[in-house]
Amino acid sequence: MTLEINSSLANVLPSVQEFLRNDKQLFIDGQWVDAAAGETFVTYDPATGQPLTSVARAGAEDVDRAVASGRRAFDGEWSLWTPAMRQRLLFRIGEAIYEHAEELAQLEALDNGKSAGVAQAVDMVWTAELFEYYAGWATKIEGRTVPVSVPWAPGASWHAYTTREPVGVCGAIIPWNFPLLMAAFKVPAALACGNVVVLKPAEQTPLTALRLAEIMADAGLPAGVFSVLTGFGDTGAAIAAHDDVDKVAFTGSTEVGKLIVDAAKGNLKKVSLELGGKSPQVVYADADLEAAIAGTASGFLFNHGQACTAGSRLLVEDRIFDEFTQGVAEVARNSKIGPGMDPTSDIGPLVSEEQLNRVTGYINQGLADGATALSGGRRHGEVGYYVEPTLLVDVEASFSVYREEIFGPVAVATPFNIDEGVQAAANDTPFGLAASVWSRDISKAHRTARAIKAGTVWINCHNAFDAALPFGGYKQSGWGRELGEGAIDSYTQTKAVNVLL
Ligand code: ADP
């Protein structure tokens, strides 16, 4: 399929135009190949609704091919690579991502709708850092010696130790909100530990994963160690159910996370899940209000609210509620809506028409239930999938806008009374991914952090991540931890060896 280069591509880098000119294939066993069934799909620019390029659609046979090539590499050449060799490879990939950051960011902006400037400064810099961070880990994955007794062998002498071994062939299934970054939450940690990876990017945003495969191949990646299968949910389901996949790492909706658990049962593969959220931002009256207004607004508007950690429930102490919510609404109203390729845009389009309908559906339901929009409340324009940044008040805890993950630039704000406390409201959710607390009282802020059931709590900031900090969810926000040392645990298994001396 040859597509007309769409007009919004006029100001993108020649390398991006070149990348988009050709139909995209699957990356299996170090080769670029068509899907076995010859199927393809089109990926679109959400700023215009125009097609970007055509992409191969992987089916079950392609999953078999990728898994088989991964198994060959895992049992063969890759198993002979020393930790230092893996370290050098991952470091080279990190360096190459820095070098190509602008190009990757433009590709991401076109495919996802996010700001190219933010994608370069945040997504790409952090992606490169994650490769470098786990490059460092490759040479530091250690076992222990264990002083054992073996009670029924008195007088015997033992030498016991543990080793950390890779899990094997890992499937990685990722969403569309931070396409390359979500790959980087999984791929470098898995490879650092000596695993191989079959990556399935989201159907809405397949492009940067394919460009990553090119970059990794150029950096010296052996065949089979990393495959990219572009496709839809059925491709992901085939990976999750595959009997020769040893682990599946998934980031996405809680609903699909539960399907992954079911699919993984056949061979009891290991499963790690990073799922949805409805993260509270707790604002006490003693907070630095100017900083808290800007920070909480960005906490729910960053990436147009398409973040699993979006601070979409503002719990605000009652005596500052009106002043505070007016301040946040003003920030929302002053945000400039426009395409990700325009450096002056604050809020870009949502990723797809489906997502536009979902988000506006939630807003309309909230308004019908009795909520008031202090800002926004509608779609913006008629071209592209834009939604006005929306702050809803007069919201009851039973409303769907309060309970469910919306994944758009929408937050609800509700007041709390200091004597009643905020703990019950903060934890009134099936999710437990993240939260933030805004206060100048250090003890109160730490006490609140302790009371909140969430995998990450930020104090006087929101969405402040680091490669070294473990990330994952309590409750229905997931299983296991990514980033930091937690990911090393999740991509290795421990072997105990006991020697009778
Ligand atoms: P979102 O709601 O953010 O689109 P999803 O959870 O639907 O997130 O999708 C996240 C990823 O999971 C995507 O790559 C998608 O193709 C994939 N996926 C969707 N359905 C399934 C499934 N049944 N099994 C495995 N992967 C799936």
pLDDT in the model for residue 160 = 98
Q: What is the pLDDT of residues 70-89, one digit of tens each?
A: 999 999 999 999 999 999 99
- Collapsing DSSP states into helix, strand and coil, what is residue 404? coil
pLDDT surpasses 90 at 265: yes
pLDDT surpasses 80 at 156: yes
Could you give the CA distance from residue 445 to residue 437 in angstroms, rounded to a whole number?
A: 6
Report, as residue numbers or ranges, the catalytic residues.
Answer: 274, 308
Q: Which atom of ligand 1 is nearest to the CA of 255?
A: 6
Could you give the CA distance from residue 332 to residue 326 in angstroms, rounded to a whole number?
A: 10
- Report the separation in Å between the CA atom of 483 and the middle of ligand 1, taken as the mean of its atom positions: 21
Contact of 429 with 397, CB cutoff 8 Å = no
Under the banding of pLDDT at 50, 70 and 90, the label for residue 5 is: very low
pLDDT surpasses 60 at 6: no
Answer yes or no: is the C-beta of 173 below 6 A from any ligand 1 atom.
yes
Answer yes or no: is the C-beta of 260 below 6 A from any ligand 1 atom.
yes
- Report the separation in Å between the CA atom of 55 and the middle of ligand 1, taken as the mean of its atom positions: 17
Could you give the CA distance from residue 302 to residue 121 in angstroms, rounded to a whole number?
A: 13
Count the helices and strands in the chain (H runs, E runs). 19, 24
Answer yes or no: is the C-beta of 259 below 6 A from any ligand 1 atom.
yes
Average pLDDT of 313-323? 98
For a mutational test of ligand 1's pocket, the pick from 43, 173, 254, i.e. the residue with the most ligand atoms closer than 8 A to its C-beta, is: 173
Which residue(s) pair with 198 in the sheet?
171, 227
Average pLDDT of 402-406? 98
Could you give the CA distance from residue 314 to residue 296 in angstroms, rounded to a whole number?
A: 8
pLDDT in the model for residue 7 = 45
pLDDT surpasses 70 at 8: no
- Report the separation in Å between the CA atom of 282 and the middle of ligand 1, taken as the mean of its atom positions: 31
Average pLDDT of 177-186? 98
For a mutational test of ligand 1's pocket, the pick from 174, 256, 355, 407, i.e. the residue with the most ligand atoms closer than 8 A to its C-beta, is: 256
Q: What is the pLDDT of residues 364-381, one digit of tens each?
A: 999 999 999 999 999 999
Q: Which atom of ligand 1 is nearest to the CA of 407?
A: 3
- Report the separation in Å between the CA atom of 235 and the middle of ligand 1, taken as the mean of its atom positions: 9
pTM score over 0.95: yes
Under the banding of pLDDT at 50, 70 and 90, the label for residue 11 is: confident
pLDDT in the model for residue 182 = 98
Question: 351: which 2 tokens?
Answer: 């990723």
Q: What is the pLDDT of residues 445-464, one digit of tens each?
A: 999 999 999 999 999 999 99
Could you give the CA distance from residue 426 to residue 316 in angstroms, rounded to a whole number?
A: 11
pLDDT in the model for residue 4 = 44
Mean of per-residue pLDDT scores for the chain: 97
Answer yes or no: is the C-beta of 51 below 6 A from any ligand 1 atom.
no
- Collapsing DSSP states into helix, strand and coil, what is residue 283? strand
Contact of 495 with 163, CB cutoff 8 Å = yes
pLDDT in the model for residue 1 = 37
Q: Which residue has the tokens 């421990």?
A: 494
pLDDT surpasses 50 at 208: yes
Under the banding of pLDDT at 50, 70 and 90, the label for residue 281 is: very high
Dihedral sign of CA atoms 19, 24, 28, 34 in order: negative
Give the closest residue to 17 by CA, choosing from 303, 341, 337. Answer: 341
- Report the separation in Å between the CA atom of 40 and the middle of ligand 1, taken as the mean of its atom positions: 18
Give the closest residue to 367 by CA, choosing from 303, 427, 336, 410. Answer: 410
pLDDT in the model for residue 184 = 98
Helix (H) or strand (E) holding 54: strand 50-56
- Report the separation in Å between the CA atom of 234 and the middle of ligand 1, taken as the mean of its atom positions: 9
**Percent of the chain predicted with pLDDT > 70:** 98
Contact of 294 with 331, CB cutoff 8 Å = yes
Answer yes or no: is the C-beta of 232 below 6 A from any ligand 1 atom.
yes
Answer yes or no: is the C-beta of 245 below 6 A from any ligand 1 atom.
no
Contact of 493 with 164, CB cutoff 8 Å = yes
Q: Which atom of ligand 1 is nearest to the CA of 355?
A: 4
pLDDT in the model for residue 345 = 92
Pairing verdict, β 390-393 and 434-438:
unpaired
pLDDT surpasses 50 at 314: yes
Average pLDDT of 410-436? 98
pLDDT in the model for residue 235 = 98
Q: What is the pLDDT of residues 100-143, one digit of tens each?
A: 999 999 999 999 999 999 999 999 999 999 999 999 999 999 99
pLDDT surpasses 70 at 10: no
